[in-house]
Amino acid sequence: MKTNHAKRSLAIFLALACGSAYGQAFDAKVPKGWGFHNPSGEYEVKVDSSVQREGKPGVSIRPLVPKPFEPNQGRFGILYQTIRADKYKGKRIRYSAYMSCAKIDVAAYLWLRVDGSIKHRDWYDSSGGNPLSFAIDKGNQCGDGDGDWRRAEVVVDVPKNSGAITFGMSLYGNGAVWANGMSFEAVDDETPLTSDEASLPEAPVNPL
């Protein structure tokens, strides 16, 4: 689920999240291999055994203290990981997970972006650094937090000039989100893209 404001703000938030991959701050609650971007200091991430799918706990993001969401106040938590793109250049990839949510008032979703260089420092730019590919999961693909899990996925093409792939899960505002059964894989070209450009026509329509 998401609001128009959250979608408009996404480029700024993800620019900060991805840029911080070069100065990651880990604590005992962040799963090994992942980073957690939490600029306001008001969110936590942890492996949460209280909510499980098929007997396995989910990783959760939630605010420490619920409060009204205010734009540009940095009230969000982003769990992310950055990998080299070498193995996936020229391929189509899918990042998926089962998600469950409770009392989300702004937005919670999976996302993935592809950038041209691991040293691409303009990730800090407010435009988001012009990623080569970018997608968030579409529609209401988050369960209701009471044992209800739904599969969410993003599918993008990785250009041959790619350098880095960053992917993760975000929570904006109040509520809680859990993820379980994450998968990252190359898929065939018959798998539909979920990136915004996938909805565009392949050729001009009704030229005047």
Domain-embedded: residue 160: yes
What is the domain extent for residue 49? 4-66+73-197
Q: Domains in the chain: how many in total?
A: 1
Task: Let me know how long the chain is.
Answer: 208
- CA distance to 123, 136, 173, 197, per residue, from 155 (Å): 21, 9, 26, 11
* Dist. CA 94–CA 76, nearest whole Å: 24
With H, G, I as helix, E, B as strand and everything else as coil, classify residue 206.
coil
Q: Which residues have a Cβ under 8 Å from the Cβ of 206 and sit 6 or more positions away?
A: none
Tens place of pLDDT per residue across the chain (208 aa): 444 444 444 433 444 344 433 334 334 588 889 999 888 899 999 998 888 899 999 899 999 998 887 776 778 899 999 899 999 999 999 999 999 988 888 888 899 988 887 665 333 332 345 677 777 775 555 766 666 889 999 999 999 999 999 899 999 899 999 999 999 999 999 999 987 666 666 777 877 7
First to last CA, the chain: 38
Find where tokens 């991430």 sit: 45
* Dist. CA 46–CA 48, nearest whole Å: 6
Residue 96 token pair: 């998926």
pLDDT per position as a tens digit, 156-200:
999 999 999 989 999 989 999 999 999 999 999 999 998 766 666
Angle made by CA atoms 137, 141, 143, in degrees to the nearest 5: 145
- E-only strand ranges, 148-207: 150-157, 164-172, 176-187
Q: Which of 52, 196, 72 is nearest to 131 (CA)?
A: 196
pTM over 0.85: no
* Dist. CA 47–CA 142, nearest whole Å: 18
180: CATH: 2.60.120.260
